[in-house]
Amino acid sequence: KSHSNRPPHPVKPSWVKMSPKEVEELVVNLARKGVPPSKIGVILRDTYGIPLVKLVTGKKINKILEDAGVPMDIPEDLKNLIKKAKIIKRHLETHRKDFHSKRGFLLTLSKIHRLEKYYKRIGRLPKNWKLDLG
């Protein structure tokens, strides 16, 4: 499949002139503007030529945001699944006989519940967190 390859060696590339502190500040500023962590990585790669934040700073993007105290209400993967489930639910309200979408909705809910249990177990979500597809 077509995608960019990860750098082969776990060493800071020679063309990256930014210091670890500057990269961390850039990550935090982008996060405060509302950019999700996955998009931050893409922006840093495409705009600033930083292939992997961890090679430059020694920390992953989520760890940088956690250390900086940037609030992450729910993890990004869970947030994306919830968004997908809301879209499918809205579709099913108008197309009640769409059984393929209904199955996709059930599979998406299963993924959400599986992630929910995991994040509650490791403490990334509060124990009383409930799914609301409203």
**Structural domain contains residue 92:** yes
**pLDDT of 4 strictly over 80:** no
Q: What is the pLDDT of residue 25?
A: 95
Kindly state the average pLDDT of the residues 97-122.
Answer: 97
Residues 2 and 60 in one domain: yes
Q: Which of 104, 102, 82, 84 is nearest to 94 (CA)?
A: 102
pLDDT in tens, 61-72: 999 999 999 888
Phi, psi for 99 (deg, rounded to 5): -75, -30
State the distance between the two ends of the chain, measured CA to CA, in whole angstroms: 36
Q: Is residue 127 part of a domain?
A: no
| Domain count of the fold of the chain | 2
Asked if residue 87 and residue 41 are part of one domain, the reply reads no
Nearest CA to 115 among 79, 86, 84?
79
**pLDDT class for 41, splitting at 50, 70, 90?**
very high
Say if residue 8 is in the same domain as residue 55: yes
| Cβ density class 35-61: b for 16+ within 10 Å, e for less | eebeebbeebeeeeebbbbebbbebeb
Within a domain: residue 131? no
**Per-residue pLDDT, 9:** 74
Same domain for 24 and 65: yes
pLDDT at position 102 is 97
| pLDDT band, residue 14 (cuts 50/70/90) | confident
Domain around 82: 76-122
CATH number, domain with residue 118:
1.10.287.10
* DSSP conformation class of 17: -
Domain assignment of residue 130, yes or no: no
